[in-house]
Chain A
Amino acid sequence: MIPLSWYLIFAAVLFCVGLYGVLARKNAIGILLGIELMLNSVNINLIAFWRYRSPDGIAGQAFAIIVFAVAAAEVAVGLALIISIYRRRSSVVADDMNLMKW
């Protein structure tokens, strides 16, 4: 059986890739993609810990499903915002979106 640590290392790598994407990408859609990667890495952790530590309960699976739902909702709202901003400013560059500046 594949040891738990492999899953964890994979999840950590995936998280870091997602984090990098969020921080480094200029395209707002890219940032959203990064966020999805990070969420999924968390899901991997949840499922892995469930399978290896307490396979009798279903709390890990339930959490993962909730994270899916949240991610889907977040993407829906996020994409809608981005489309709205694009219509106004013809740009999806995150650095241009500084309306909340002091």
Chain B
Amino acid sequence: MSIEFITWLLPLPPLLAFFVIVLFTNRYKALSHSLAVGAALLSWLGSMIVFIQAIRTEHLGSHPFESVLNWLPTGENWLQIGILVDPLSAATLFFVAWTVLMIFIYSVGYHNYGQPPGDHDKKGLQPHGATVTDDHGHKHLVPSIEPMYSRFFAFIGLFAFGMYTLVVSNNLLTLFVGWEIMGLCSYLLIGFWYQKPSARAAMIKAFITTRVGDVFMLLGIAYLYSTVGSLSYSEIFKPETLQKLASTPAIGSILGLSAAGMIGILLFIGTIGKSAQWPLHVWLPDAMEGPTPVSAMIHAATMVSAGVYMVIRMFPLLQAGSEGGHMTSAMSVLAVIGTFTAIFAATIAVAQNDIKRVLAYSTISQLGYMIAALGIGAYVAATSHLIMHAFFKALLFLGSGSVIHGVEHGVLHTDENVDPQNMFNMGGLRKKMPITFWTFLIGGFALSGFPLVTAGFWSKDEILAEAFGNGHWVVFIALASAAFVTAFYTMRQITLTFLGEPRTESAHHAQETSWTMTLPLVILAIFAVSLGWTGISESFPVIGGLIPNFIHEFVGGTLIEMPEALPFNIVPMLVSVVAALGGLSLGWLVYRNQKAGAEDPLKVALGPVHTLLKNKYYFDEIYETIFVRPAYWLADNFTNQILDRGIIDGILHFIARVASNVGSIFRNYIDKPLVNGFGDFVGEGVKKVGRSIKIMQTGKVQQYLLMALVLVFGAMFYFVFALFRH
């Protein structure tokens, strides 16, 4: 089998699993999850084969694996689809395959496979636990299996199909198809527990918010197609095409943008929606309504990464027209949005109490890092942070799911009424859940960029070094402070959750989760540490060069011009270390003595600022006022009352009334008098004649004969008379 053929097959197993589960095996839970995990395993295997083949191929960047099929005839041409494995997609494939597989395995444990069905669990609601009687006759409440277990695996299968399609496709069209399939699946999965009103609201919010971005992205794709006549990357990124795009002014020459800049910005708006960048970030924290594996899928492995992957993919287009390392206007847009989002979301995360929401905002912030890195031209740094982040954020999300699961176990055990997601209800879990603790710690340190050992340090450091080295001071300072805030809230989270003493009975009775959940954590934790070593800058003191800077060599090869690795500079490095260590220690100092029921120390220290942060800068409320309410108002007053009832119904009623009037004219002046009149006349006439001559019909034979005689005489008389006349 050629490597191209394997690449074609990569997305198919999860899709097949989806259809088989939905159509046939829905009722059989074990069969369904075996199918889904098996499909993920197949795709993972294929991805690893492709990845290994890719790293063994020299000059993959200029000679990628590519294969193209004619798909749709468009006039005289064909719309082509195809697959492409270049270093960027190979690297993306690597982390997608691993995280997807881990999440699939984790889902088995997360949805309580092997537990009894709940006492009164309903479809569309979280499982509420089942009562079991042990050997001593004691009754216990234990976690119960998810009622819609198979449905979940079908959905994540479809989700995985969307992501694989997006990664291996060689053109924007199939990328967009995969993109939208994921959009649908995220909608379905966020609203997985659809009987919860909050989940329903979140699913709609996520769908509509990302749709705003997608519309612009589709516009960008259409613009690109109409200009270049192709959507395949190899066509778009030809130097002469890029040159042409960069020198053509955009339609209407808005803000003096070139066509390339305009298309780049339109496509980037798609990313803003998908990767939850400001100002379309609002859907992502609400998406925490879904089950935790979904959060990991959406927030780490697949969907939000897809947004960043797409802009990284489009980087040559964004960069087109830049001279001598200057930023193009499209890149400035990226830098501004990314930097702002990074610091903005990080500050919100500080004031959140829900363990998953903290991570959601940290995701937004980290994605901002990548976008900002791309904006300042740090292509490789953005890609490597994307890869590292996928691993450690998946680890953190799955870890938080494990924590919630453990605390839920405690809640069921003690029958206490506490929120199992609120970090202030936890504490001291390191003894109860050691595997979860250590892996979460590794993930958290990677997120904060703990020096030297963690993956996050190397990629984040690289971004900061690029910002510093190229003289983007604002970006550098903002990202460095965001790094400090990140380290702070991460340590806050770890301290509140795992350190200290349990603050509730539920936390006291928390229990380590099953191996299906901890195994993925361990594997992801290994990557969260070791992966960073493949991206150490060669000019780094002492350890630099011990391991070649593999990521730079490999991923950088995607671009036609290999980006130069910056020489080592001690300043950003020191800033990065200070920010990480400072944030971590501050977080530990502030929260280490948190008592049950006590106020958040930050609330006391920051006062109204804390309220502002806690309410996420009131963005939901602002959007509610600016967009949602006016939309409802418009829908009701304009669309419903004026447009629908007034104009459309009016026209319809008018037509109906005219038709009805014309009809009654016909009825009264033509149908009734003429048509009916004639019919009635014939009928009535015949009746009248019949009535008047029926008296002859006496039934008496002699009278008939007499009548005949009279008539015969009459006739004879007539004939005789007539004869005599002639």
Contacts and interface: CB of A to CB of B under 8 A. Distances in A.
Interface of A: 19, 22-23, 31, 94-95, 97-102
B697 A101 contact: yes
A100 B702 CA distance: 13
Nearest to B701: A94
Interface string B691-714: 000110111111001100100000
B699 A98 contact: yes
Contact of B694 (A97, A99, A102): A102
B700 A94 contact: yes
B699 A31 contact: no
Contacts of A98: 698-700
13 contacts: A22-B705, A23-B706, A23-B709, A95-B700, A97-B701, A98-B698, A98-B699, A100-B697, A101-B697, A101-B698, A101-B699, A102-B695, A102-B697
Given A97-B701, A102-B697, 20 more contacts: A19-B709, A22-B702, A23-B702, A23-B706, A23-B709, A31-B701, A31-B702, A94-B701, A94-B702, A95-B700, A95-B702, A97-B699, A97-B700, A98-B699, A98-B700, A99-B699, A101-B697, A101-B700, A102-B698, A102-B699
Nearest to A35: B705
B31 to A, nearest CB: 85
B563 to A, nearest CB: 115
Nearest to A99: B699
In order of increasing CB-CB distance, the 6 nearest A-B pairs are A101-B699, A98-B699, A102-B697, A100-B699, A102-B694, A98-B700
Interface string B672-706: 00000000000000000000001101111110011
A29 to B, nearest CB: 13
B687 to A, nearest CB: 14
Contacts of A97: 699-701
B700 to A, nearest CB: 5
Interface of B: 694-695, 697-702, 705-706, 709
A75 B697 CA distance: 25
A99 B701 CA distance: 10
Contacts of A100: 697, 699
B691 to A, nearest CB: 10
A23 B694 CA distance: 22
A19 B695 CA distance: 24
A22 B702 CA distance: 7
A35 to B, nearest CB: 10
Nearest to B693: A102
Contacts of A94: 700-702
Contacts of B698: 98, 101-102
Contacts of A95: 700, 702
A101 B697 CA distance: 6
Contacts of B695: 102
A97 to B, nearest CB: 7
A97 B705 CA distance: 14
A99 B697 CA distance: 11
Contacts of A19: 709
Contacts of B702: 22-23, 31, 94-95
Contacts of A23: 702, 705-706, 709
Contacts of A31: 701-702
B112 to A, nearest CB: 92
Contacts of B705: 22-23
Nearest to B697: A102
The interface centre, meaning the residue of A19, A22, A23, A102 with most chain B CB atoms within 10 A of its CB, is A102
A19 B698 CA distance: 20
Nearest to B696: A102
A23 B710 CA distance: 12
Contacts of A101: 697-700
B190 to A, nearest CB: 87
Contacts of B699: 97-102
A98 B701 CA distance: 8
Contacts of B700: 94-95, 97-98, 101
A102 B693 CA distance: 10
A75 to B, nearest CB: 16
A74 to B, nearest CB: 14
A95 B698 CA distance: 10
Contacts of A22: 702, 705
Nearest to B691: A102
Nearest to B694: A102
A22 B698 CA distance: 17
A22 B701 CA distance: 10
Nearest to B704: A100
A2 to B, nearest CB: 28
A23 B700 CA distance: 11
The interface centre, meaning the residue of B694, B699, B702 with most chain A CB atoms within 10 A of its CB, is B702
